[in-house]
Amino acid sequence: TVQAYSMVLNACAFADMGQDKNGKLVKASPENQQKAFHIAESTMNRIRKEPYPRVLPNPVIYGTFIKCCGRLDLPDDLAVQSATKAFQDCCRAGLVSDFVLTQIRYALPPELFLEALVKNGYRDLDRKGKSMSRDGKRIRHIRVGELPEKWTRNVVNSRS
């Protein structure tokens, strides 16, 4: 089921840490983190092909894959490309939830986060092309209810 895929993706997202021989929590090697990412990527590709009837991506699947991109120690271009592509697919599918929006916000640097929003049709920016806080130092918190309706059309209770 889709929950099984979600669990695999979640395990991959948290593969950035491991235990040493003494049981102490340590950062996983870049090689192990990249292996986890490849598992996440192949899981995402498999679910996109609908391996079982009605087992399709949902906001949790997209958000958890994007979390993998943000948490794992990956080459910057791979992390950004993968997170951006997943977000774009999620927007097209109308499955952007608060969880997805939170994950893409943390997976990308602020300027690339705004760029991903704009490339997918977000238009609520100031005259400088930013959506900044009042003090101008941070990106203003963007809520799901402010997003284009087509991004959230297939999410239950998304317009808050």
pLDDT of residue 22: 94
56-102, pLDDT tens digit by residue? 899 999 999 999 999 999 998 999 999 999 999 999 999 999 999 99
Q: What pLDDT digit, counting tens, does each position of 110-121 carry? A: 889 989 998 998
Mean of pLDDT over the chain: 88
Q: Band of the pLDDT at 128, cuts 50, 70, 90?
A: very low
Report CA torsion sign: 27, 33, 39, 45. positive
The string of DSSP codes covering 35-53 is HHHHHHHHHHHHHHT-SST
Q: Which two tokens stand for residue 66?
A: 């994007």
* Residues 23, 119: Cα–Cα separation, whole Å: 45
Q: How far apart are CA 50 and CA 57, in angstroms?
A: 8
Q: How confident is the model at residue 8 (pLDDT cuts 50, 70, 90)?
A: very high
Paired tokens of 49: 């092909």
- pTM comes to 0.88
Strand partners, 27: 17
Query: What are all long-range contacts of 144-148, with beta carbons under 8 Å and residues at least 24 apart?
Result: 144/96, 144/97, 144/98, 144/101, 147/96, 147/101, 147/122, 148/91, 148/120, 148/121, 148/122, 148/123
Strand partners, 61: none
Which class for 91: exposed (0-12), middle (13-18), buried (19 or more C-beta within 10 A)?
buried
